[in-house]
Amino acid sequence: MIIAQQKRKESIAEYLLYMWQVEDIIRANNFDINAIRQTVIAQYDQPEEVKEKIVGWYEELIEMMRTEGVTKKGHIQLNNIIITALTDLHLRLMKSPKEMVYGAAYYKTLPYIVQLRTKSGGEELPELETCFTAVYGYLMLRMLRKEVSAETLEGIKQISSFLALLSEKYKADQNGELNLEE
């Protein structure tokens, strides 16, 4: 909860990746709040009242995941709404003549997106979700200390750079600082 709030303010991309990780933590703990208390919440150096708020946050997420039918895979609507908002912003940025740098970053990233879609075995994810899935997969491989090819690292570096730029644009848009009109 605390980390999520901080990440949401700083970088919407990091927030979304963090929330995907939280969903996986909930799944790994079999939706058992007591297991989450022991494996996750007990690690926080916070006063008990803050820990109880964190417990409540996890309980709400557990309920959302169950209600929305994403207990095995997938993401809660709150996270899907962010992808939709980012996609909307992405399309607006691509149409804006003021955003040539953003467009260039996208076209530099596009070959990696196409390559990932080809490797995905036919699963048709939206472009931005493909980017987030790639970065999340890479982070999971790093956590497991698995080898990653130089080609994959190059792609992840470009995709991460693109998502960071999109996150900056999102933050500017949320703060009313993004003017896409000529």
Tell me the pLDDT tens digit for each residue of 123-165.
677 889 999 999 999 999 988 999 888 888 999 999 999 999 9
- Predicted local distance difference test score (pLDDT) of residue 7: 85
- Predicted local distance difference test score (pLDDT) of residue 104: 97
CA distance 174 to 171: 5
3-state secondary structure of 119: helix
Q: What is the pTM of this model?
A: 0.91
- Predicted local distance difference test score (pLDDT) of residue 123: 64
Cα 45 to Cα 15, 49, 51, 54, 111: the distances in Å are 21, 12, 9, 12, 43
CA 95 to chain centre: 24
Query: 100, 45 in Cβ contact below 8 A?
Result: no
Cα 75 to Cα 61, 137, 175: the distances in Å are 11, 15, 26
DSSP letter for 57, please: H
Cα 124 to Cα 22, 116, 134: the distances in Å are 24, 10, 14
Mean pLDDT of 67-93: 95
Report which residue type is found at 25. I
Of residues 116 and 33, more confidence is placed in 33
Which residue in this structure is represented by tokens 């895979």? Answer: 73
- Predicted local distance difference test score (pLDDT) of residue 148: 85
Confidence band (pLDDT; 50, 70, 90) for 20? very high
CA distance 63 to 132: 24
pLDDT above 60: residue 170 = yes
Q: What is the mean pLDDT of the chain?
A: 92
CA 174 to chain centre: 17
Confidence band (pLDDT; 50, 70, 90) for 182? low
- Predicted local distance difference test score (pLDDT) of residue 40: 94
Sign of the C-alpha dihedral computed for residues 124, 130, 133 and 138 taken in this order = positive
pLDDT above 90: residue 79 = yes
- Predicted local distance difference test score (pLDDT) of residue 6: 84
Tell me the pLDDT tens digit for each residue of 103-127.
999 999 999 998 888 876 656 778 8
Please enumerate in sequence order all residues whose Cβ is within 8 A of that of 74, keeping only pairs 6 or more positions apart, or say none: 68
CB atoms within 10 A of CB 34: 9
- Predicted local distance difference test score (pLDDT) of residue 176: 92
